[in-house]
Structure 1
Amino acid sequence: MHNPRFSRLDDQTPRGVRLNWPRAASFAILGLVLVWLIVSRSFVAYLAATAPEAALLLRPGDPTALIGLADQEFNANDKDKREKPEKSSAGARSLSRLQEQVETALAADPLNARAYRLLGQLAEAEGDASRTAKLMQTAARLSLNETIAVEWMMRKSFANEDYPATAFYADALLRTRPQLMDYASPILGRMAENKDAKREIEKLLAADPPWRSQFFAALGKAITDARTPLELFLSLKDTAAPPTPADVHAYLAFLFQHKLYDFAYYVWLQFLPPEQLGSAGFLFNGGFESKPSGALFDWTMPQGKGVIVDIAPRPEASDKRALFLEFGQGRVDFPGVYQTTVLPPGAYRLKGSFKGEIIGPRGMQWSISCVGGAAIGASQMFLGSYPVWRDFEFDFVVPETGCRAQSARLALAARSASEQLVSGSIWFDELSISRQPAEPTK
């Protein structure tokens, strides 16, 4: 039965905008197809990178999945000790099959850097050096994220004595994969010791790449001459990116590890600010006027438990600074304040001044010890009340052998846990070490 209500609505609908149900249905179906294509292709693209076999089930012939599958097969870890493909006729057939698979994918995706890199690996497995080089170079040119290709080009460039290219590929490798420093540092270290290649390393380091400090930390294992890092440091000293204190400190630690104490001291002097060179006597910064750098030949002042260690203005002369220690109530864990020295064999005297009050079973004490050896001199024990500045001194002798480096240390002279119960505060200043005339031979 005709409904006049719907007739009126139909009559009022403007011409040209009436709903065309067949067309609307077509657009809806098309939209669903487009949504499916977008979702499915995105999903396949995800699977191609993570699970290529599953991606191929959804879209057979997907080039990314084909390449990923071939890459997994060729570069899989040989955990079960299977024979590598290139060592048997079956392996040769496997290489051929993988090559066809990758080339099929490459035809569909001709700019795929991973495909060129994998073809390069396959060519190398077959012993085709010329084809390997071309394919690896193409892979690296298309993407510097192709780590295997970039690392291969770095090694090949170095073997060909193409040092600018070696530096370029080493930089690319370490910018994209800084964790692969162990692969690059041996080559960069050899370049640093090669007079024809060293300039390329210097230019590269002067640009201050993000991996530079990591390289300096690893350099000790990659060189044959302990002077090599110093030469690199000196080439950077007057650039916009000189070596950092951390770089120099790591190098000093390397030299100390190899007991090159005199050379370490020489290196340290090279990077002292000009205004501090005047303080570089037998004992550095004995007046505590500059903030300790933490270097081996400067004061090291670790904080302990129950003690405050600081360099502060002197109470009676704020324009002067001194070492200040304040102990709380209870047991103290004090690592000490110390500095490394490199004194030639002979007789010496350490002088200084102090004031303060220390209450406890044992007090503070300065000593000089051979690095890795026994003490060769010690001061009085600072215990009790000393309200005004007083001088102190003690003599010591650096032996002819076994004591090429020494440690000047302030420590709590406690011999047991009960003797670590200390309170009070104490100041030290004007420390110096001077050479003493040798005693006449009897």
Structure 2
Amino acid sequence: MSEGSRPPSPRRRRSARAPRPRRVWLRTLRLAVAVHPWRCAGIGAGVLVLLALIATTSLPMALAERHPSLALALHPDHPRALLALAQEERARLTAAMAQKEEEAVARAEEAASAAAATAAAAPAETAASGDGGAGGDEAAAPPAPPAPANDADALARQEREHAASLTTPEATEPDAPEAADSVPPPAPEDLPALRAALSDLAARIRARAPLDATAWRLKGDTSDDLAAARQAMTEAVARSRRETVAAFWLMHQDYERRDYAGVVRLADVLLRTRPALDEYTLSYLSSLSLTPEGRAALVTALIENPSWRGLFLRSMGSKLAASDAPLALFQALKDAGSPPSEAELVPLLRARIAAEKRAGGAYNIWLQMLPEDEVLKVRPVNNLDFAQDPSSLPFNWSLPRSVNAFIDFQRASGDDAGRVLRIRFGVGRVRLGSLEQITFLRPGSYRFSGEQKGLMSSKRGMVWQVLCAGGGPPAGQSSQLLGAPRSWRPFSFDITIPNNSRCDSQRLRLIHDSRSTSEQFASGEIQFQSLQITPLEPAASGG
């Protein structure tokens, strides 16, 4: 066989016979249409319907957040796309309102500067003309801003600023689309058109999704009628307790209308749903305690023991430490059968001491919160026999935070009654805070006595001190105590309380008298019992 008539190789024959994939698909489709024309027509129609559903439902849902305009082109009334577009419009409206407010402030500052310049030039012109008088200065001077009538008015003004700051998109709508940031803010004269467009979007959203709370809140934002706005905000909160802007708006409106029960009800919603904004919400509740009607509304809610009761009562010390309003509220709770607990009372007491630089006011609050039978047990120095457990109250022993040291009250051994103070040390460096309480000894001389036991191994021992709360040198101080290894050993020292306001209250404390790091090493233990403070007889003449 000649070379020209050689048969093609098997590989070439297979490649020549194998049809292309596209041709196979077309051939199969033609054969299917030819054999089953009606079935193929039904399948094709179903595929077209499925594609239409995807294009008008799932695809707009995916595009609604980032590309609302494209989503609305596919589905003109898609609720999520309309909501995203409304958020963009609201961001632009907020920017325009801020710009308008800045321009108003700038005009006011220019007017004030011009008035000040006129007032400064008027005396010079009067002196040059030889016609001086005080009346011209008073007429040219700008009026002083009105002072608040009371503390409640000042606090209300402050809270209005807080509420206004919460209506910004950054604070209330963190999930708003970022497209609005790239759009320049509109001019202030475009505000009516923006409000109308936003109102129309809100109406379209409500028509498609009547249970959407944000749509009702947007209606309230764009309404010029206060009653209609209030109704819309109420509908928003009724549909979602997490509609923060509407809840704050309604709470502030109730505060302005003196509907204190409404303020407490909406504050309850915010404190349960938005803990990150507790500072603003608690400020409204704190301001209610300044009026009798507000306290009554607070007491009605607090006696039900809501989840935020402890948080609110503990916060009053930081907001109203120097006011008598917390005491009035706590007294009302006590009269209603639900007095504040120790954990709720202590922050106010310590804040009051820090604000007044003295303990008399906090001591009076504590006495009024005590039951009548316990008031009779109060002494200038409490719990000297360690019969009561330590607490966080400033007028009882409070156990300090310590490192490598353990403090407790234990029952006395043998036939001795009462309890003893025991301090145990680990091996190594010790950091022992002061065991102390605030006392109210009258001016005069006293003797502090007690008994010690144990064996404490350290360069420096334990020291009892009595310090004036207002500062200054110790009014009395013991020697260094290291314990007695076999039996109880007595100790004592004298105290002299001066007759001045800096020492109307004192601090009785027990410290480890270490002065450097090397002196902080201790081991063993030491115990104290039978503590007493007895007045000394006045000295003879000249004493």
TM bin (shorter chain) = 0.7 to 0.9
Contact persistence 1:261–1:342 (CA under 8 A): no
1:32-431 map, 5 Å? 56=72, 59-75=75-91, 83=99, 88-123=188-223, 128-220=225-317, 222-223=319-320, 226-237=323-334, 241-259=338-356, 260-272=358-370, 277=375, 279-317=377-415, 320-371=418-469, 373-374=471-472, 375-383=474-482, 385-399=484-498, 400-431=500-531
Separation in 1 of the partners of 2:306 and 2:51? 45
Aligned length: 420
Amino acid at match of 2:308: W
Separation in 2 of the partners of 1:290 and 1:383? 25
Distance 1:387 1:272, change over 3 A: farther
The Cα of 1:150 is off from its aligned counterpart by: 1.5
Identity %: 32
The Cα of 1:285 is off from its aligned counterpart by: 1.1
Which has the higher mean CA deviation after the structures are superposed, 33-42 or 154-163?
Answer: 33-42
What is the SS of the residue equivalent to 2:393? coil
Separation in 2 of the partners of 1:158 and 1:25? 68
The Cα of 1:248 is off from its aligned counterpart by: 0.6
Which has the higher mean CA deviation after the structures are superposed, 339-348 or 360-369?
Answer: 339-348
Which has the higher mean CA deviation after the structures are superposed, 270-279 or 205-214?
Answer: 270-279
Separation in 2 of the partners of 1:271 and 1:206? 16
Contact persistence 1:350–1:394 (CA under 8 A): yes
Contact persistence 1:163–1:197 (CA under 8 A): yes
Separation in 2 of the partners of 1:433 and 1:65? 78
Separation in 2 of the partners of 1:241 and 1:86? 55
Distance 1:332 1:165, change over 3 A: closer
Separation in 1 of the partners of 2:67 and 2:99? 25
The Cα of 1:181 is off from its aligned counterpart by: 2.8
Q: Which has the higher strand share?
A: 1
Aligned residue number for residue 13 of structure 1:
none
Distance 1:418 1:106, change over 3 A: same
Distance 1:55 1:210, change over 3 A: farther
Contact persistence 1:355–1:389 (CA under 8 A): yes
The Cα of 1:222 is off from its aligned counterpart by: 4.7
The Cα of 1:58 is off from its aligned counterpart by: 6.2
Contact persistence 2:339–2:369 (CA under 8 A): no
What is the SS of the residue equivalent to 2:502? coil
Amino acid at match of 1:133: R
Which has the higher mean CA deviation after the structures are superposed, 81-90 or 354-363?
Answer: 81-90
Q: Which has the higher helix share?
A: 2
Q: 1:432 aligns with which of 511, 532, 537?
A: 532
Which has the higher mean CA deviation after the structures are superposed, 107-116 or 128-137?
Answer: 128-137
Amino acid at match of 2:329: L
The Cα of 1:234 is off from its aligned counterpart by: 2.5
Separation in 1 of the partners of 2:540 and 2:39? 118
What is the SS of the residue equivalent to 1:103? helix
Q: Which has the larger radius of gyration?
A: 2
The Cα of 1:290 is off from its aligned counterpart by: 1.8
Separation in 2 of the partners of 1:51 and 1:368? 72
Distance 1:277 1:412, change over 3 A: same
Separation in 2 of the partners of 1:390 and 1:165? 65
> TM-score with structure 2 length normalisation?
0.67
In the TM superposition, what whole-angstrom CA distance separates every residue of 1:159-197 from its partner, at most 9, and x where no partner exists?
Answer: 122232222222222222233233333332332221233
Which has the higher mean CA deviation after the structures are superposed, 104-113 or 205-214?
Answer: 104-113
The Cα of 1:325 is off from its aligned counterpart by: 0.9
What is the SS of the residue equivalent to 1:330? strand
Amino acid at match of 1:367: Q
> TM-score with structure 1 length normalisation?
0.81
Distance 1:50 1:217, change over 3 A: farther
Contact persistence 1:265–1:342 (CA under 8 A): no
Structure 1 unaligned regions, length at least 5: 1-19
The Cα of 1:366 is off from its aligned counterpart by: 0.5
Separation in 1 of the partners of 2:490 and 2:53? 88
What is the SS of the residue equivalent to 2:428? coil
Amino acid at match of 2:484: S
Contact persistence 1:351–1:392 (CA under 8 A): yes
Contact persistence 1:288–1:311 (CA under 8 A): yes
Distance 1:273 1:199, change over 3 A: closer
CA RMSD of aligned residues (A): 3.7
In the TM superposition, what whole-angstrom CA distance separates every residue of 1:363-396 from its partner, at most 9, and x where no partner exists?
Answer: 1110111236232210121136342112222222
Contact persistence 2:96–2:188 (CA under 8 A): no
The Cα of 1:250 is off from its aligned counterpart by: 1.0
Which has the higher mean CA deviation after the structures are superposed, 265-274 or 103-112?
Answer: 265-274
Contact persistence 1:354–1:426 (CA under 8 A): yes
Distance 1:69 1:185, change over 3 A: same
Contact persistence 2:247–2:270 (CA under 8 A): yes
